[in-house]
Structure 1
Amino acid sequence: MKTFEDKSRESYNQKADNYDETPEGIFTLKFKKLLLEEMIIDTNSKILDVACGNATFLKMLSNNHSIKGYGIDISEKMIENAKKSCSDMIFEVSSCEHTSFGNEMFDIVTVCAAYHHFPDPKSFAKEMRRILKPKGVVYIADIYYPLIIRAILNPFVPLSKAGDVKFYSPKEIKLNFEECGFEIFKFKIDGHIQINAFRRI
């Protein structure tokens, strides 16, 4: 039986070459733009984009800020394209829960329109605490639906061929990170998008 990661890997390997022009790519561009507006970035910050895809968001960041960019994704094809797109950055094929990076390496971690793919958000939060510097921030832009809509949709979400797991509520995301040693840094809802930012304590 295929895992969520297996389904995500297959789906995004197939979409990789023209992802930004697909309906999903166009839809997630709104998340990237809103997240970019909300971030506070110091010069030469080390930034890791989790589920970086073709590195579109990292390219947007580097167009506006002087950063040291890193990206991980479980799709080999996405990482192959990211390396071509941003040759001055570092990319690896990796899950979000177990990375090869050293302790306290990053100033910022970003996740854009991918958190609902994470089957083990607790392990993800623990890994982010490990690789973020003290006071480092993880920014998450993800889909927001009210309770009644989540109640209707979530039983069917795991059936997705793209490896979607669950639409998480802001409260679920917040409690997960607080339990792993983070404090809320910023929160915003804009239509169907939620921005959650947590600072490592």
Structure 2
Amino acid sequence: MKNFNELSKMAYNNKADYYNETIDGKFTLKFKRLLCENIVVKDHSKILDIACGNGTLLKMLSQENTFNGYGIDISDKMIKNASKICSEMVFKVAGCEKIPFEAGFFDVITVCAAYHHFPDTKAFAKELSRVIKNHGFIYIADIYLPTPLRVIINPFVPLSKEGDVKFYSPQEIMNNLQVHGFRQIRIIKKGYIQMICMQKYM
């Protein structure tokens, strides 16, 4: 059986050229809008979007902000399209466990509707802590399900053909990052969307 990253790569390569018109693309647009409404962007800051897809979130952010944009995604076709949409930004093919940038490089890091795809969230948290600056901010927007629904659904999530792994509560996400020196700044729950903002203090 293929691993989660391979499944995700195959699934998103297959819909990369028309992603914004897919059910997934339309569904995740609400996550992107919530992030854009809440992310604080300082001029010329360095922003990394992990699992950036075709670069839509960074493009949306750039319409009202001036910053240096970067993105990584395991789908090479998504990265190819992101480079076209945001030609002034830097994009690389990579997973969340090994981010190909130097330590303390980013001011802001975003994860939009992708955290439930990460096969090793502990490795992600450790790598996140490495590449973000002290006092840098992480914004994670992901699917929110109440505890009873998560208990019922999570055992079946790994059976997905698109590399889904598990749905998490806000507290589970925060607990994972707190180990690496992140502190809670804000939590927003809006229907089926949750957004967690944390800041690094170590």
TM range (shorter): over 0.9
| 1:147-201 CA-partner distances (Å, limit 9, x unpaired) | 0110111010000000000001111101001011111111110110000011011
State the match for 1:186 in structure 2. 186
Deviation at 1:64, TM superposition (A): 1.2
Which runs of at least 4 in structure 1 moved beyond 4 Å after TM superposition? Answer: none
Whole-Å separation in 2 of the counterparts to 1:119 and 1:126:
14
Whole-Å separation in 2 of the counterparts to 1:125 and 1:73:
16
Whole-Å separation in 2 of the counterparts to 1:7 and 1:17:
17
Whole-Å separation in 1 of the counterparts to 2:41 and 2:117:
26
Letter of the 1:99 partner, please give it: I
Whole-Å separation in 2 of the counterparts to 1:97 and 1:65:
28
The percent identity for this pair of structures is 56
Deviation at 1:26, TM superposition (A): 0.3
Whole-Å separation in 2 of the counterparts to 1:85 and 1:189:
30
Letter of the 2:7 partner, please give it: K
Whole-Å separation in 1 of the counterparts to 2:67 and 2:120:
29
Letter of the 1:148 partner, please give it: P
Whole-Å separation in 2 of the counterparts to 1:34 and 1:182:
21
Letter of the 1:180 partner, please give it: H
State the match for 1:164 in structure 2. 164
Letter of the 2:9 partner, please give it: R
| 1:74-113 CA-partner distances (Å, limit 9, x unpaired) | 0000001011111100000001110110010000000000
State the match for 2:19 in structure 1. 19
Please state whether the residue corresponding to 2:15 is helix, strand or coil.
Answer: helix
Whole-Å separation in 2 of the counterparts to 1:125 and 1:63:
29
Q: Are residue 133 (structure 1) and residue 129 (structure 2) matched?
A: no
What value does the CA root-mean-square deviation take over the aligned residues? 0.6
Gaps of 5+ in 2: none
Q: Are residue 107 (structure 1) and residue 107 (structure 2) matched?
A: yes
Whole-Å separation in 1 of the counterparts to 2:174 and 2:86:
32
Letter of the 1:172 partner, please give it: E
**Count of residue pairs the alignment pairs up:** 201
Q: Are residue 10 (structure 1) and residue 10 (structure 2) matched?
A: yes
Deviation at 1:41, TM superposition (A): 1.1
Whole-Å separation in 1 of the counterparts to 2:136 and 2:128:
9
State the match for 2:52 in structure 1. 52
TM-score, normalised with respect to structure 2: 0.98
Please state whether the residue corresponding to 1:64 is helix, strand or coil.
Answer: coil
Whole-Å separation in 2 of the counterparts to 1:179 and 1:159:
29
| 1:127-161 CA-partner distances (Å, limit 9, x unpaired) | 11111111001100000000011011101000000
State the match for 2:119 in structure 1. 119
State the match for 2:197 in structure 1. 197
Gaps of 5+ in 1: none
| 1:14-37 CA-partner distances (Å, limit 9, x unpaired) | 010000000110000000001111
Letter of the 1:54 partner, please give it: N
Letter of the 2:167 partner, please give it: F
Please state whether the residue corresponding to 1:96 is helix, strand or coil.
Answer: coil
State the match for 2:96 in structure 1. 96
Deviation at 1:7, TM superposition (A): 0.2
